[in-house]
Chains A and B, each alone.
Chain A
Amino acid sequence: MSKVKTAVKIGTLTVKNPVTTASGTFGSGLEMREYVDLRKLGAITVKGTTLKSRAGNPLPRCTETPSGTLNSIGLENPGVDVFVADILPQVAAYETPIIVNIAGSEIPEYGRLAEILENEDAVSALEANVSCPNVKSGGMALGTDPDLVYQVTKLVKENTSKPVIVKLSPNVTDIVSIAKAAEEGGADGLNLINSVLGLAIDIEHKRPALGNIVGGLSGPAIKPIALRMVYQTAQAVTIPIIGLGGIVSWQDAIEFLMAGATAVGIGTGNFLDPATTMKVVDGIEKYLEDHGFSDIHEIIGIAWKGQNAGKEGCHVCSE
Chain B
Amino acid sequence: MVEQGKILINEHVGKDIWRMELKAPWIAQKARPGQFVNVRLTEHTDPLLRRPISLHGIDADNGIICFLYLVVGKGTKIMSELENGDSLDLLGPLGNGFSTAFQGKRAVLIGGGIGSAPLYPLMEMLKAQKKSVTLIYGAKDQDSIVCLDLYKENQAEVIITTEDGSAGEKGFVTAPFEALLRNESVNYVYACGPSAMLRAVEELTLKYGVDGEISTEANMGCGLGVCLSCSTPGRDGKNRKVCTDGPVFKMGELAYE
Which residues on A are within 8 Å of B, measured CB to CB? 24-27, 31-32, 34-35, 47, 55-56, 58-64, 66-69, 71, 73, 76, 219-220, 248, 268, 270-275
Contacts and interface: CB of A to CB of B under 8 A. Distances in A.
Contacts of A62: 219-221, 227, 229-230
Interface string B236-248: 0001000010000
Contacts of A59: 218-219, 230-232
B231 A64 contact: no
23 contacts: A25-B227, A26-B226, A27-B227, A34-B1, A56-B228, A56-B231, A59-B219, A59-B232, A60-B219, A61-B229, A62-B230, A64-B47, A66-B46, A67-B45, A67-B48, A73-B227, A270-B222, A271-B223, A272-B45, A272-B49, A272-B50, A273-B2, A274-B2
B221 A71 contact: yes
Contact of B231 (A31, A61, A270, A271): A61
Interface residues of B, number: 29
A274 B222 CA distance: 9
Contacts, number: 97
B231 A32 contact: no
B225 interface: yes
A230 B226 CA distance: 26
Identify whether the interface residues of B are mostly helix, strand, loop, or mixed.
loop
Given A60-B219, A273-B2, A69 B228 contact: no
A99 to B, nearest CB: 16
Given A31-B226, A62-B221, A272 B40 contact: yes
A274 B225 CA distance: 12
B71 to A, nearest CB: 15
B165 interface: no
Contacts of A67: 45-46, 48
Nearest to B223: A271
B233 interface: yes
